[in-house]
Structures are given as structure tokens and as C-alpha cells.
Chains A and B, each alone.
Chain A
Amino acid sequence: MPKRTDIKKIMLIGSGPIVIGQGCEFDYSGVQACKVLRREGYEVVLVNSNPATIMTDPEMADRTYIEPLSVDILHEIIRRERPDALLPTLGGQTALNLAMELNERGILDRYQVELIGAKAESIQRAEDRHLFKEAMLKIGLDLPRSGSAHSMSEATAIAHTIGSWPLIIRPGFTLGGTGGGIAHNEEEFETIVNRGLDASLNNEVLIEESLLGWKEFEMEVMRDKKGNAVIVCSIENLDPMGVHTGDSITVAPIQSLDDRAYQAMRDDSLKVMEAIGVETGGSNVQWAIEPKTGRRIIIEMNPRVSRSSALASKATGFPIAKIAALLAVGYTLDELRNDITQTTPSCFEPALDYVVVKVPRFTFEKFPKADSTLGTQMKSVGEAMAIGTNFKQAMQKALRSLETGFGGFGACAKCEKFKEYDDETLAKEVARPSAERIFVLHEAFRRGWSIEKLYELTKIDRYFLRHLEELACFEDEITAAGSLENLAKDKALFRQAKELGYSDIQIGYLFHKNPEEVMAVRKQIGLVPSYYSVDTCAGEFEAITPYYYSCWAENSEPVREIPGHGHKKRIMVLGGGPNRIGQGIEFDYCCCHAAFTLRREGYEVIMVNSNPETVSTDYDTSDKLYFEPLTLEDVMGIYEREKCAGVIVQFGGQTPLNLAMRLKKAGANVVGTSPEDIDLAEDRDFFKQLVDKVGIKQAESGIAHNVEEALAIVEKIGYPVLVRPSFVLGGRGMVIVYKEKYLRKFVEEAAAIGEGKPILIDRFLEDATELDVDCISDGKHTVVGAIMEHVEPAGIHSGDSASVIPPMTLSQEIQDKVRAYAKEFAKELHVCGLMNMQLAVKDGELYMIEVNPRASRTVPFVSKSIGVPLASYASRCMLGETLEQIGFTEEVHVPYVSVKEAVFPFVKFPGVDITLSPEMKSTGEVMSIDRDRGLAYLKSQLASGNKVPSQGNIFVSLKDEDKQKAVPLIKRLVDMGYQIYATRGTSTMLYNEGIKTRAVFRISRGRPNLLDLIHDKEVQWIVNTTETGAEAMVDEIQMRSKAVVSGIPITTTIAALTSTVEGLMDKHDFGRFEVCSLQEYHRHVKK
């Protein structure tokens, strides 16, 4: 059946800001959908609040709304755009929930918008636990055995029927799920059931069999409206049930199931699709299998494109989102071609002749107080994927792709710490799922622990344990060579080590050599990687699309000469690797722009990246895609094979920058700003000279290598100071210190993080306004993209601050000075490409904080605000064009206000303090635009999930310095009808100013206190400003964490309060938010 012609305009909802559990995989899926739907002639209206995405680029859709993802806003957009259809299955759970709400509120009906891709009933059947259970039982699937009891005897009867330990006990109707637990035997069972019955308000406990330790599997299914269905990819979790699949190491295809078990699961997955009623598109079905009996239970299904779909697409070469979009508009699977082979249809199941391993990336170091044990709540912020010709190779590649300092599975300095564990600790840490458990396993195997012992401790399938054991043992086989020279003489052994996935880093570690030395020796004996393609069909048909991975096979596929590319120069773009806090989708945005632009400009673009969630690893973003770790060895292998003319390092964040110098030394041509100049910008002495030369002030500073030096510096410059390690991104380890006690502690910590690199100490500028500037230079001329003013004062990481274009409070004079400095610094640093400056203004005086000659996190925000593709222009500059040739010679001034606000993962880490600091903690960002600044800010709060109520009660607790500034703001809030609660100190002060408040106790002093107010839903908004530097009171941490978990908006700086109040007053005047597309805004830009 051909595509539908009765619909013309399709609305797509994105997934909003990057948060834990919803990463940039939905940018990838949205981009695929936008591209293909427009190619098919549909008009696409896109809504997403996340500016860092490629999908929100104005060229991607016909109309792009960077607006908050709320039902009211979507209602406005639907009213304005009148789309024929809404495709809700490509924007994660966010889009699906919004679509359901739009449907329930009758908005879709009213405007006659058809849900395509998934019908409301199907979504409901998949999402509603009760309906889902019913549907699954109907088709004969097994679910966890369970029952509810009102007495001990009923409970015991249920336990007997279930017939296995452990059991999960959940009391009905308790507050916050207290009183439940896992019982491993009868004794524990009695205790927990009794406790649960007590805690339950209706004297009821739910008893369910535990699936902990069961094997976990996923199947990615595609179905079309004719009922044709295929399994695109099967995935096996290395970590058994109990660890969220997003936090598990996963492997594709399924390894440990025989054909019968596999096919039975396949049959049932197809049945699930039918029973839920998924008409078209991709779904993810999750299964658990009891390892001894083989009993299989359905866990859940997602009737939409998911994180696993992105992984499955990259793992197989089957573009799930793209095909899902085409199926939604009426095509069937047999009508669509397979992109990779271009001759066979999409109606097939990819056959893999390699193994894919995905490893999650965590950032517990950012949240030291968070529980680092993995469980059913997802905690990872990113992932790396690797492809190899065997499991061991793929596993080791994936681990080194993580960029967490491990060169692979063991054989690295960072694994030394596990040697210090005594056996008891080791057993405990092996059994406890954590970010580093895989390396703890390595130590256990090194101690000769048996597979059976480790199976008992971990329930990780023996299949995986066998491979890991072999790897742990093979280290001795390598070291038995005695030296690197000897290893080079035994080429067969060297090759075998590489086949098993050992990196040059690991081999170097074993022989006390650096990776460069290993690489040199290796190349001398002609041991270089081979490359094979991901072709969807295990070699059965010729692959046209060049998508590669490296391996150490006897043979190699030749370098592909793309027809018509004979004369083209090859340029390599290095991606950013796995997402982490501080290095996320913004950099992928820049890499993609470089790829798009350079292809247009006549280069052959070669993309290298290890992050499966990204648009950059979509095979049609570049001419050739290499899915590889971003280490020197892996990158140089490709560079040399493809005989690249140059490599671009300034777009992928810190990952490629850290490689720049080494790449150059290894013979690569780094285009754009030179690695030396990039390094120079980090060199304090040089930078100081530069600052003096340009004539701008800088906070007094010094460099320390230890505590004594640090104390001496502070003696000279005085407290408070800003302490940070050099060469890190995202303010890792960065703190403001007011007292010596803390200085000692933090300097030690910073020294550990920086791994021997110097520690920078600056005098901290209190209450200064911070600025961010992004500019672009062709080597001669520099044009400012935008000056951004932060809402939060200096001292809060720029990635965590809200920022505003154009600046709110800066005088023309200051702004002109900033522009002049930008030009000076770009010139002095020989910048060719992008540059970012951070400055502070205190008492009308400008201070330089830092200059980074590379793409910054704010590039996409600025580009979307001013309507100029900065990353695209920068890549053209890097390859020799001038800004004049490009036609970008003047800064753009916009007649509207853009606000960027950060989004935080605190809700996932109960008990962690949410106050902002110099260390970046946000995972994502949102953008909002409005002609009115207050409304733009208010929208940004709505978009970031901090929805300020338009009426209700506000709890206010302020630090002393803020109290006076807050008075007029609170007066206005009272005028608008809000009620104020405050602790005694604040309450008294406000009373003296004539503001009536209700007083509450401090948490530790008595009740009712704030916790009670939150609990009773008495408070709808919290304003809480705190001292920077001092360790927060336990009270306050508890309060803020509780507020976040309860979903109560919280404002933590006086600056943010000011902007919010301004917004609320404007909203009060306007009545409602107005929406407008990016394309319309850009039409108003004077260029």
C-alpha cells in the first residue's frame, strides 16, 4: 500500500531536555523521522524544548517550535498549525504521555488531529499495568506470580502458591512505599509481612515473586499495518534482572539462548505486538527467563521507539525510527528498501556476523552522596557501544570507549585499587551491581575465583563469565613474552592479543610503555586493524552504505571508493563519545553540522564516534561512519586507512581535544585552531600574559601542585577562592572555598581527579554577573555570535546557569568591550573556527574567566537564537574559507529574547543536595523564546520541569544577604495573591517589612516544619537561597531533595526569583503564553 495522501501536515513531538532515562537517542529518531517525512512530501511541524538537538534546527522541519512540552502549549500550537496527524512514538515517554493527555482532554478530537503510529487504546493497553496484565494473560503469557493478603495466614498461603524465594512484599496504600522489602526465607517473610500490614492504611500487602537474578532479554519488533512483523534485533543483558536495562551491559545478538528458546520468545514478541494492537512502528518487548527452568515472563513492552531501538538501529544497520515513520504514513515493510544493501527489502530480520556490546556510563563522581548501587531506577547518563568479531573484542572495545580511564577489561592502572580489597570486600563488591562491578569481576578472576562461585554471587550468565575469565587469564600470556620487544617478535601472540580486544593502552600498561610506543612497534611488524562493514545481512548481499568497525581478522574489506568521490579530500570528524555531564548532545550537534556542511562543500566526511544514541552515528550523516572508540590507536588506524587530509577535533568536546596533540604527533593533520594553541589557552602562565597583553583584568590566581602551595597562594589572594583541576570539562572537581579546612580537603580531591595535572586557584568574585560569548574566526576576522548573560551569579557553572540573549543588564559600553576582547583573543590564539569566552562583571569592571578555542556547549543555543549555523560556518573556516566568503561579517541582533535553562537529574538521586555550584550537574537544557523577557524566562522554567504555580503557597527561606533584595519581590508575589510561609528568621524580617507570613519550624527544631507542608501538599513553590561555599546544613539538603522528589518547583537564587517574578507579572498581564515557530522568529532577524 502506498503512503497516505489524506494527511498533509504531521506534528512531531520531541522528548525535551536530556535527562537520565531519556537521552539523545530521541534526537536521532526525530531527525530520521523529520527527514524521511519531508522527503515523502509531508509538511512537518516539530515541537521540542531542547535547543541542543539537531532536530530543532530550522532546516529539519517546516515549522519548528522550541517551546515548553506541556499540554497547554501544545494546544496553542495545534490551534495555530492545525496538523492533520500527530506522530507520538518517536519522542520517548514524554511525547507518548503528552499525546495521551491531548487525547484525553479532547484536544485531538476538537481539532481533528489523528494519532498515527500508535492508537490511544494501544498506548493505554501497554502503559496501564492492569490492562497490560489482562492482555498478556489472554494470549497465554506468563507474568510474575503474585497475590494480595490481609492477614499473615493469607500471606503464607500466597507464599506457598508462588513456591519460591525471594518474595517481594509491598504494602498497599502506604506513604512513600515504606514497610516493604524482599524476603529470602520464611523468617524474613513473617517480619516484613507483619511490618507491611501495619504500615498499610488498608491493612493489605502485595506479595510477588522476585525476578532478581533472572536472565533479561529484549526484542526490537517492527510491525506494519498489514500485520507483517520482524525482529530487528535481539538483545541480552549481561547484568541479570534487578538492574535497569539502561544501566546494564547489554549484548546483541542474544548469545546464550538456543534456537528453540529464541524462536519461542520471537513468536511471543510478535503476539504481544498484536495483542497490544500496535498497528505500525517499532516496539520494544522485555523478557525475563529463569535460568534453571527456562520459565519466561514478560516484563513490559513499549509501544514506541526507545533507547534500545536506537541501540538496535546502530547494532544492525536497520533504521528503526525512519522505517517507523514511513509505516505510520501507510507504507508496508515489503514496499521499503533496505538502505544498506539498496536492493533487498526492509521486511527482513538483520543477520549479524559480529558481536555488539553496549556499556552504560555513569557520573556518580558528581553526586558523591548518591547511592551508587544499581537497581531498577536508571542512573546512567550515557552509553558507549562497540562492535567486534567476537564477544571479548567487543567487550574490551566498549570498555575503552567509555573514556573512564579503563583501557579495556583489566590490565590498567585504574584496576589496581581493587587489588586492595580483602576477599570479603571483593565478594561483596562483586555481588553489588555498580558502575565498576565489571572490573571488580576482573580482580576476582585474577584471584582464581571459579566461574561457579562468581555465578552464585552475580547470577551473570556463565557464558559471559567464561569469556571474562579467559580475558583475565590471558594477561599472563601476554606478560609471559617478557617485554614489548619480545611480543613484537611473536607476531602470532601479538595478533591474538589484539583479536581478544587488548588495546595498545593495555599492552603498554603490561610492559610499562606508553600507547604510542606500542603502536609504533605494532606498526613496524605490520600489525594493523582490518575493517568490516555492518551490512544487515552477514555478507549475503553487497553493502552499499559504508558503515564500518575495526577488528583483527586475517583479511579486510578494501577502502570504499565512493562513486564520484575520486577527487574529493577526506576529512575526519571526531565525535564526543558517550554522553556525560558536561559533554553531551551539544557537541554531537556541532559534529553533525560539520559533517553536513563539509559534505555540501565537496569533501568526503568520515565520522568516528562510539555513542549509539547520536545523530552523528547515523550512517547517512556522513559519507562513511566508523563506529569506534575515540582513542589514539583507533582513530589513527582509520585516519591512515582512509588517507585522510585532515581531522577536526574542536567539535566533539573534551574527548577529541584531549587527543589533538597526540594525533598531530602521530602524523595527523589537525585542521582549524592548532593543537598547540588549544593547549596554550589552558596554560595558566601563557594565559596570564595574554590577559595582561590584551589589558583585561583577571581574578588573582595561582597554580598549586599540593596543599602547601595552595595555602601559600590563598595567603596572598585571600578567601573565597575557586579551586579546580586543569584539563577537565564540566567543572569537574571545581569548588568555591571560604575556609582553610575545606581548602585542604578540596585540593587533595582535585589533585586526585586531575591525575597529576596542576590545580588552579582563583580569587572568587562574589556576586558578579557572568557572561558567555561564542564567536567564530577565520583566522583573520572574528564575528561574535552572541553575548549571553547568566541569570545566576558567577560561581555557578555556566552549564548549570540560565542564560539570556541579548544580555539583560549590561551597558552598551561593557558589551562593546566584550566584543573587542573577543577579537583580540581570537587573534592572539590564532583561532580558526569557534571560540568561547567566559567573563564576569563586578562593579562595572570586566574580568576574564577563561577562553576556550573550541565549540562550546552553547553553540546550538546561540545558533538557534540568532538564526546562524555557527558550527557549520566554523567548519568552512577551518577548511580555508573566509567569513566574508561565507557572508557572515556582522553580529546579528535579535528583536526577541532567548533563554536557556539547565535541567538536573536530582530526582534520580534522593538525598543529594540540589544547590548549584561551580561543578556542573545538569544533564540537559531547554530553550524558550518570547518577545517578552519575563515570559521567555517563565517559559524556560516551565520547559525545564520547574513549573511555577500561578497561585498557591510559597515557602521562603533566604540567606541573610538576600533578604533585603527579596522584599520587593515577595511583596509583588503577595499582591498577585500568593500566600507566604517562612521560617522564623525570614518571617520576622518580612513582618517588619509589612509582609504577613505564616511561620513554620526549621526541620530539626519542631513541627509543623517544611517537610510536613510538602507532605500535606500545603506548599506549591519553594524559594530557598543558601550560602555558597559552606557545607549546607543537613536540614536544607533534606528539604531541597524532598521538594525535588515531590515535584515541587524550587528557586535557589535571588536572580532566578527576580526573573520569575517578572515573568509572572507579565503572564498576569498577557493572560496566556503565546507560541511562535523558529522560522518565523528568524524572519525578524536583521542580518
Chain B
Amino acid sequence: MNEKFQWKAKRERKAFIALADGAVFHGYAFGEKKDTVGEAVFNTGMAGYKQILTDPSYAGQFVVFTTAEVGAYATNFEKSESRQIFLNGIVVNSLDWVSKELNEESLHDYMLAQKKAGIAGVDTRALTLHLRTHGAQKAYLHVEDTEMTEAEAIAKAKAWEGLDGQDYASKVSDPNGYEFNDEGKYHIVALDFGIKTNILRNLAAQDMRITVMPIGTSYEKIMEQKPDGVFLSNGPADPNSLPQVYNMVKQLLGKIPLMGICLGNQLLGLALGAKVSKLKFGHHGCNHPVKNLLTGAVEITSQNHNYAIDETSLPADVEVTHINLNDNTVEGIRCKNVPAFSVQYHPESAPGPNDSMYLFEEFKKMIEAFKGGKNA
């Protein structure tokens, strides 16, 4: 029985995650037994771990799941949000398994196949409270069977360069580009900084044909496509490390309708001359209330970001359209004079609520209006 349930390994708690500030949390290893460094952030969503795992925006991070039980359902019947797992590892409290009899793939098996490390049996609430108090942290995940002292791991975490000032988007952007949805009334160029597939699915649902182009694509290359609109995707790490990208976005402004999500929102902000700064521990979860200031309605949103636009730095011709009701940070902006808008949260959900799908329709309307205006 012990073999089946791994009780001995579970109680020995030999694996651990060490934070740069010296805090250490123990557990047992699962997935690939390979030590790694990363930035520890927590996510308060209660389902959707496959979508979180395959969200490229988590590149370079360890995601701490606050939900008590993780892995209750099979991973092989769920859709992915990108071509692979980009995050560095995950930290869970109680790890579940699934029915081999029904050919279900467990979270452990999936992580193993994707060669990613995980640690389970961790006091994730303590770790979360620590991150809330001390901010997102550089961390070292020790899951190998080799002996390592906590001090060594802490030192390795400290020594790591971290995510600030780093361009992770280039690491996750698909260098080849690709087409999504062959047919569609409108042609969109989506710039891939780590785009989630559900964004593409939602654009396609608005009768759009999408050409996904890699990060670094020039203004000219984009315009050669003669698109009806350009979409700026989500993606990992520091927007301030991408001056070429936001300078290029500056060129697009006014020329073509723009929509941005998450990193795309930050890049639009930077292109407009606003400041983007790092939040203490970011927003990661599926329950954030966002108020649409134009309608007064509140949406429950899916969020995953560490950086936010500084409201006071926005120029006068940009209005804030959405705010987060928890901390009043900027969640959406819109240009008054040119066709461009963006949101900081994830209207495409996956995982999370579908309250904000209307934004994709708004993008379509903006494109239609722009076309109409141009034609007229």
C-alpha cells in the first residue's frame, strides 16, 4: 500500500523551496526531479491548473497554488494554452491523482512528460502569507535526491538574476509565427509575446483570421500584412525590458486599431508615455473584481500580472476604462483620439470567469468603425 500512496516519501519531506530572503518550505517532490531557480508567485484560482501551467506569462516563475487540492481531474482532456509548459515549477498543498483505469493522465505524469519540477505537501498558506508580506521572491526549488543544505539553496536563489529587467517574452514567443483560423472577415496580426491560445480562439469567434507574428516583428512587416487590426498579447516578465517593442507600438498608434491584453496593455501604456511599475506580489487569480468605468458594471476577472500602469503617468488623451476594486490599480485604458484600447486582466479567461468576453466584440466594433471612417 505504501508504494501506491508514497506515504513514506510524503512524510519525510525531503524536498523544499528556499526563498532568497531565507524562508524555507518543505514538501515532497513530484514531476521531474530537477532543481531549478525561479520567481515564486501565488495564484488563488481554484481550478484550471492545466491552463496555468501552459500560460507562457508564467515563464521563469514558480506558481504556488493556494487552492487546497490540486490535480483532482485528468490533464489529458483539457486544452493547453500554448505549445508547452513555460513556468519553472509548481508548489502545491495536497496533490491528487486520477484513474489509470480510465486512461487519465495525472498532474504528476504531465509534469514528468513536460520535464517540469513540482513540490507537494507544502504549507502553501504559510508560503502565500510570506509572499504577500515580503513580496514575490527569487527562489530555489530543491527536488533532486541529492543532499543539499537549506543555506546552499538560499544562496542559489539570491545569486539568480531574477525577472526584473529581463526579456522573457523573446524566450516564449514562437519564432516561426503561424496562422490561426483560415477564414474570417477581418484580418488581425497578433504579436506573440507569449500568447494564450484562448485569446486566438476568442478573436476567431469574432470572425477574425489571425496571423501570429513573433516578438521583434517590425512595423513595416506588420503593415505588409495589410491587417485590419493588431493585437498585442500577454507575456512574461518585465515590459520595461522591451523598448524596441513599445517604440514599434508607438508607430502603430493611430494607423490601425489596437487591442492589448496584460503585457500588451503595459506595452501600450509605455508606448503612450506612461510608467509601468512592479506590484508587490502581483495579481494572480480568478476572482478579481474589475469595474468598467464606462458602464459602471463589475466583472469578475482572471488575472496574472506583476506589473501595472501607473495611473498618474498617463497622458491626458488616454482614459482609464477599468479599475481593480481590490486595490484601485489600472485595469484598462483607452485612447480618446486614436483607435486603441487594452486591459490588464484576461478577458479570454482560461482559467477563470467569462464575464469580459465582450471586449473581443469591442475590438471588432472598433475595427468596423475604423474601416467605415477610412472608407468614408
List residues of A whose CB falls within 8 A of some B CB. 226-228, 230-231, 253-260, 262-263, 266-267, 333-334, 343-345, 347-355, 388-391, 451-452, 462-463, 466, 470, 473-474, 476-477, 492-493, 495-496, 532, 537-542, 553-555, 557
A343 to B324, CA, bound (A): 13
Residues of chain A lying within 8 A (CB to CB) of residue B352: 259, 263
Are the CB atoms of A390 and B298 closer together than 8 Å?
A: no
Q: Which residues of A contact B353 (CB under 8 A)?
A: 263, 266-267, 349
List 19 A-B pairs, Cβ < 8 Å: A258-B77, A259-B351, A259-B352, A334-B291, A348-B288, A348-B326, A349-B300, A351-B66, A391-B69, A462-B102, A477-B7, A493-B11, A537-B44, A538-B44, A538-B67, A539-B42, A539-B66, A541-B132, A554-B123
Which of chain B's residues has its CB closest to A461's CB?
Answer: B72
Residues of A within 8 A of B297 (CB): 226-228
Q: Which residues of chain B come closer than 8 Å to A352, judged between CB atoms?
A: 46, 67-68
- In the complex, which residues of chain B have a beta carbon less than 8 angstroms from the beta carbon of A231? 300
Decide: B132 and A539 in contact? CB cutoff 8 A: yes
The residue in chain B whose Cβ has the minimal distance to the Cβ of A495 is B11
Beyond known contacts A347-B298, A539-B128: 11 more, CB 8 A cutoff: A254-B46, A344-B325, A345-B289, A352-B68, A355-B68, A389-B125, A390-B68, A466-B97, A474-B7, A492-B13, A554-B26
Q: Considering only CB atoms and an 8 Å cut-off, how many residues of chain B contact the other chain?
A: 60
**With A347-B325, A553-B126 in contact, do A390 and B99 touch (Cβ < 8 Å)?**
no
Q: Which residues of the other chain, B, contact A389 by a CB distance below 8 angstroms?
A: 68, 93-94, 125
Closest to B65 in A: A353
**Stretch in B47-55, B203-211, B236-244 touching the partner:** B47-55
Q: Contact at B10–A496, with CB atoms within 8 Å?
A: yes
Which residue of B has the minimal Cβ distance to A500? B7
Determine whether B96 belongs to the interface, using a CB cutoff of 8 Å to chain A: yes
Question: In B17-65, which residues have CB < 8 Å from any A CB?
Answer: 25-26, 42, 44-48, 50-51
Chain B residue contacts of A496, Cβ below 8 A? 7, 10-11
Would you call B44 and A353 a contact (CB within 8 A)? yes
B42 contact set on A, CB distance < 8 A = 538-540
- CB-nearest residue of chain A to B101: A452
Alpha-carbon separation in the docked complex, A186 to B288 (Å): 52
Instruction: Say whether B371 faces chain A, with CB atoms less than 8 Å apart.
Output: no
B44 touching A351, Cβ below 8 Å: yes
A480 to chain B, nearest CB (A): 9
Q: Which of B50, B101, B300, B351 contacts A348 (CB 8 A)?
A: B300
- Min Cβ gap A901→B in Å is 45
Q: For the complex, give the distance between the alpha carbons of A1031 and B96 in Å.
A: 54
Of A228, A230, A259, A540, the most chain B CB neighbours within 10 A belong to: A259
Q: Return chain A residues, CB-CB under 8 Å to B102.
A: 462
- Chain B residues with CB under 8 A of A348: 287-289, 300, 325-326
Q: Which residues from A are CB-within-8-Å of B123?
A: 553-555
- Assess the A390–B94 pair: CB atoms within 8 A: yes
List A contacts of B77 (CB < 8 A). Answer: 258
Whether the pair A349, B66 counts as a contact (CB closer than 8 A) is no
A349 touches B286 (CB 8 A): yes
- B148: interface (CB < 8 Å): no
- 4 tightest A-B contacts by CB? A259-B48, A555-B126, A259-B351, A390-B94
User: In the bound complex, do residue A473 and residue B124 qualify as a contact, i.e. CB atoms below 8 Å apart?
Assistant: no
Contact check: which of B47, B94, B96 meets A463 at CB < 8 Å?
A: B96
CA distance in complex: A228, B48 (Å): 24
Q: Is A553 within 8 A of B125, CB to CB?
A: yes
Docked complex Cα distance between A203 and B291 (Å) = 57
Closest CB-CB distance, B107 to chain A, in whole Å? 12
Is B79 part of the binding interface, using a Cβ–Cβ cutoff of 8 Å? Answer: yes
Residue of B nearest to A253 (CB): B46
**With an 8 A cutoff between CB atoms, is B194 at the interface?**
no
Contact (Cβ within 8 A) A470 B94: no
Known: A258-B50, A350-B287. A539 touches B1 (CB 8 A): no
Known A539-B129, A555-B126: A347·B48 in contact at CB below 8 Å: no
Whether the pair B289, A353 counts as a contact (CB closer than 8 A) is: no
Check B11–A257 contact: CB distance below 8 A. no
Assembled-state Cα–Cα distance A350/B101 (Å): 35
In the assembled complex, which residues on chain B have CB atoms less than 8 Å from the CB atom of A254?
46-47
Contact indicator B94/A344 (Cβ below 8 Å) = no
CB contacts (< 8 Å) of A473 on chain B: these are 1, 4-5
Residue of A nearest to B74 (CB): A258
Which residues from A are CB-within-8-Å of B93?
A: 353, 389-390
B217 at the interface (CB under 8 A from A): no
Chain A residues with Cβ under 8 A from B96's Cβ? 463, 466
From A492, which residue of chain B is reached at the shortest CB distance? B11
Query: What's the Cα separation between A230 and B297 when bound, in Å?
Result: 12
Expressed in whole angstroms, the Cα–Cα distance for A333 and B12 within the complex equals 47
Cβ–Cβ contact A333 & B298, under 8 A: yes
Complex Cα spacing A257 to B46, Å = 10
Contacts of B350 in A (CB 8 A): 259-260
Q: Which residue of A lies closest to B283 (CB)?
A: A540
Chain A contacts for B233, CB-based, 8 A: none
Q: Which of B48, B94, B124, B325 contacts A258 (CB 8 A)?
A: B48
